[in-house]
Amino acid sequence: MVQIKDKFKVKADELNATVKEILKEHGSDKIGEVTVAQVYQGMRGITGLVSETSLLDANEGIRFRGYSIPELREKLPKVNGGAEPLPEGLFYLMLIGELPDTEQVQELSGILARRSHVPNHVFATIDALPINTHPMTMFTTGVLALQTESLFAKAYADGINKKEYWGYMYEDALNLIARLPRVAAYIYRRKYKNNYHIQPNGMLDWAGNFAHMLGYEDEGFKELMRLYMTIHADHEGGNVSAHTTHLVGSALSDAYLSFAAGMTGLAGPLHGLANQEVIKWILAMQQELGGGTPTKEQIAAYVRKTLADGKVVPGYGHAVLRKTDPRFTAQMEFAKKHLPDDALVNIVWNVYETVPPILQELGKVKNPWPNVDAHSGALLVHYGLVEYEFYTVLFGVSRALGVLASLCWDRVMGQPLERPKSVTSEWMQLFVTGKAEASAE
Ligand code: CMX
């Protein structure tokens, strides 16, 4: 069988030739214009990055190498008797650009299992943090402690030709993906399960083994983890975690440093942390109402109160999407199949019917529909994973698949240091009054 690494290099050589041609023939073609508002308001809509692994359509949602989430759920290989895709398969797809067959995914599962050893100093570093440290801080710290294992950093220190960078990045990416479930499970068991740790089971798939190490043997939970790890993996290149990983990687920081940086962005409440905020928000609503299942009228009143208090409704809205997130829909379908009568899931569905019209009334919210984070917590609670501060770590383990596949592409394509131009408001005042000129530097 052709090695995945060799296959990746063949694909990369093909694409590099195409990109060379594009740049030669069209390097000075314009792809859009930048407005003053975009410069001040988060660079929305500026095409400024290339990310091979996935592409987002505002109305349809994410496609990974051309495949939508429903297509991935149907076409990616599954465990024997399972119905949800194996996330290793998605990693293969993002890296190589072709759907893998079952044998190729099994091979990748085996490679990841063999590379999953985490050195003791990583656990000791996590142990040095106070137990009340947020799991995302522990996770980022654990990843940074793992950086001692970077093959790229060692090779760079020894002095390598830039043509060889990609190979070391590839090895680091695979090693890091292999090790993350162990680091994440360690944090969970340390913080919430009296430091009682569970050894990995090398016979299981990557997500199944993660569920096992977290302490959940229910096949339903393992299936949920396979779905969860698939749908959270990538959302094109401009979101905070992907962009940060790419940006830091552009300084030739290795995969560990770059990914840890991306995770500090995922830990923000407007990005990945929203998944814990959703459950916190629903529990606070229930507490305020004295427990039980809130009616739609009570949910509406609580939404209005949240807005009146100057807070966002977590799990709703998106910087790019303009319709219900297909990642939300995939989780809703999973719930309808496996846990249609779950009380918390039914609250999530009632919130879905209540929130969008209220956000629409505000007149300023560009997308009133739910994003991925609106649903995920309720599914986890159903299977017993109630410790919501841990939820963003699950998101982070999954996000590694996309951002690390992208880092491999960055290095194999020789992407340069990222360095956009910034200006001051003083300069902007001169510019808008015709006293300064836009500069390309
Ligand atoms: N609740 C209340 N107000 C909201 C809102 C929400 N869910 N979503 C947007 N708005 C507000 C914005 O805060 C902004 O208000 P101001 O003009 O007063 O500052 C206004 O509507 C316009 O915002 P927008 O252009 O529609 O949205 P942005 O691109 O600026 O922000 C996002 C996108 C996700 C940060 C925002 O929708 C939000 O805060 N949502 C809640 C948090 C959340 O669920 N984040 C997770 C996103 C998915 C992920 O990355 O995991």
Q: How far apart are CA 89 and CA 70, in angstroms?
A: 15
Query: Regarding the domain with residue range 1-30+51-414, which homologous superfamily does it belong to in the CATH classification?
Result: Citrate Synthase, domain 1 (1.10.580.10)
pLDDT confidence of residue 2: 65
Q: Report the candidate in 123, 232, 116 with the shortest Cα–Cα distance to residue 174.
A: 116
CA-wise closest residue to 271 among 371, 367, 137? 371
* Exposure string over 225-239, b if 16+ CB within 10 A, otherwise e: bbbbbbbbbbbbbbb
Ligand 1 center to residue 88 CA distance, Å? 32
Residues with CB under 6 A from ligand 1: 239, 270-272, 274, 307, 312-319, 359, 364-367, 371-373
Q: Closest ligand 1 atom to the C-alpha of 315?
A: 44
Distance of CA 379 to CAs 5, 148, 189, 216, 342, Å? Answer: 36, 36, 20, 13, 9
| E-only strand ranges, 136-215 | none
Q: How many whole angstroms separate alpha carbon 189 and alpha carbon 385?
A: 12
For residue 52, what is the DSSP state? S
Enter the tokens of residue 125. Answer: 């570093």
Distance of CA 409 to the CA centre of its chain: 17
pLDDT at site 439: 66
- 389: three-class secondary structure by DSSP: helix
Given a contact cutoff of 8 angstroms between Cβ atoms, the answer to whether 328 and 377 are in contact is: no
Which candidate, 230, 228, 231, 234, places its Cα nearest to that of 214?
228
Alpha carbons within 13 angstroms on the beta-carbon side of residue 63 total: 10
List the one residue out of 228, 232, 117, 137 whose CA is nearest residue 191.
137
H or E stretch covering 321: none
Q: Are 230 and 221 in contact (CB under 8 A)?
A: no
Structure tokens at 385: 């994973």
Question: Whose alpha carbon is nearest atom 45 of ligand 1?
Answer: 270
DSSP string, 232-259: TS---S-SHHHHHHHHHHTTT--HHHHH
Write out the catalytic residue numbers: 271, 318, 373
Give the pair of three-digit tokens for residue 419.
Answer: 């360095």
> Which atom of ligand 1 approaches the CA of 241 most closely?
50
So what's the pLDDT on residue 189? 98
Task: Compute the distance between CA of residue 294 and CA of residue 88 in angstroms, rounded to an integer.
Answer: 39
Looking at residue 438, what is its pLDDT?
79
Q: Identify the pLDDT of residue 441.
A: 53
Ligand 1 atom with the smallest distance to the CA of 371 is 48
Q: If you write DSSP's letter for every residue of 134-145 in order, what string do you get?
A: -HHHHHHHHHHH
Residue to substitute in 280, 364, 395 for testing ligand 1 pocket (most ligand atoms within 8 angstroms of CB) = 364
- Which of 231, 312, 373 best tests ligand 1's pocket when mutated (most atoms within 8 Å of CB)? 312
Centre of ligand 1 to C-alpha 193, Å, is: 35
The Cα-based distances of 254 to 147, 243, 419 in angstroms read 8, 15, 18
Nearest-5° Cα angle at 130, 379 to 244: 60
Count of CA atoms in the C-beta half-sphere (13 A) of 239: 28
- Regions of the chain with pLDDT less than 70: 1-2, 439-441
Amino acid 291: pLDDT = 87
Give the separation between CA 386 and CA 94, rounded to whole angstroms: 31
Phi, psi (deg, nearest 5) at residue 336: -65, -35
